[in-house]
Structure 1
Amino acid sequence: MPSYSIGQAAGLLGVSSETVRRWADGGQLRMERDGTGNRVIDGVSLAGFAKDRAVGLHPVPGEVSTSVRNSFAGIVTGVVLDDVVAQVEVQSGPHRLVSLVTREAVEELGIEVGVTVTARVKSTNVHVDRP
């Protein structure tokens, strides 16, 4: 089973190392010592903590019915308009998403830099890489 250092866990959770230490010291995140005495978090515990922490972070508004389960609330950081197409860049925590949509949609929705949006992703092709 993989284990992660405090810094690695912080990077995966999108928080500071100090925040991970506080969660561990407060009993919210289980941490152990490895053979050299360093504090580590086992991968299963970290995955469960990340999943629990994400509950409710990207809720679907009550007036919206959707089958899309992958949603990222964020802020628009860039919009490039063409005659027909627009490129919209969204920063959602540590995640940068880029979407190509119609110019008409951008104008109708009032999408511009600084506006909060929710990017929803539904795809039959999702690639998972492992370092």
Structure 2
Amino acid sequence: MPSYSIGQAAGLLGVSPETVRRWADSGQLVMERDGSGSRVIDGASLAAFAKDRAAGPRPVPDEVLTSVRNSFAGIVTAVVVDDVVAQVEIQSGPHRVVSLVTREAVEELDIQVGTTVTARVKATDVHIDRQGVLPRP
């Protein structure tokens, strides 16, 4: 399961690192210490927190520079996998994006709750990108 630093979580939630620290100190957001003693947030916990916060108006995170006009960087909050297709739900700041992709794509990209992804929208299709190196099969 992925984990996120305070700065990474702040970027995904569209707030300052100090706001994330305050949420952790007040018990609203669960943080743990990693092996080096740094405070980290479990990806699934961050996804749940992002989804809960999305109910009301929120600040929009900084835009990513890209040639794609409709691009939503965010955190995966739900994945429902069927025999052929998968439904991927992403929380991007105040925006909830839902995409239907193939089961194979979800497995190849190792998309799971708490994973950072970017949804790119072209006409009626939503494509999901993920940074990083894929695990070998």
- TM-score, structure 2 normalization: 0.49
Q: Partners in 1 of 2:32 and 2:61 — Cα distance?
A: 26
Report the 3-state secondary structure (helix = DSSP H, G, I; strand = E; otherwise coil) of the residue aligned with 1:40: strand
1:94 to 61, 85, 88: 61
Q: Greater Rg, structure 1 or structure 2?
A: 1
The answer (yes or no) to whether the contact 2:12–2:61 under 8 Å persists in 1 is no
Deviation for aligned residue 1:2: 0.2
Aligned mates of 1:53, 1:28 — CA distance in 2: 11
Q: What is the root-mean-square deviation of aligned Cα atoms in Å? A: 2.7
1:48 corresponds in structure 2 to: 48
Residue aligning to 2:30: 30
Q: Which amino acid aligns with 1:93?
A: V
Structure 2 spans left out of the alignment, 5+ residues: 64-68, 71-120, 132-137
Structure 1 residue aligned with 2:100: none
How big is the shift at 1:56? 3.0
Is residue 14–residue 62 contact of structure 2 (8 Å, CA) maintained in 1? no
Q: Percent identity?
A: 73
Aligned residue number for residue 57 of structure 1: 57
1:57 Cα deviation after fit: 2.7
Cα distance in 2 for residues equivalent to 1:38 and 1:95: 25
Residue of structure 2 equivalent to 1:5: 5
Q: Name which structure has the greater RCO, CA cutoff 8 Å, separation 6+.
A: 2
* Letter paired with 1:2: P
Equivalences, count: 77
Residues 3 and 41 in structure 2, CA contact (< 8 A), matched pair in contact too: yes
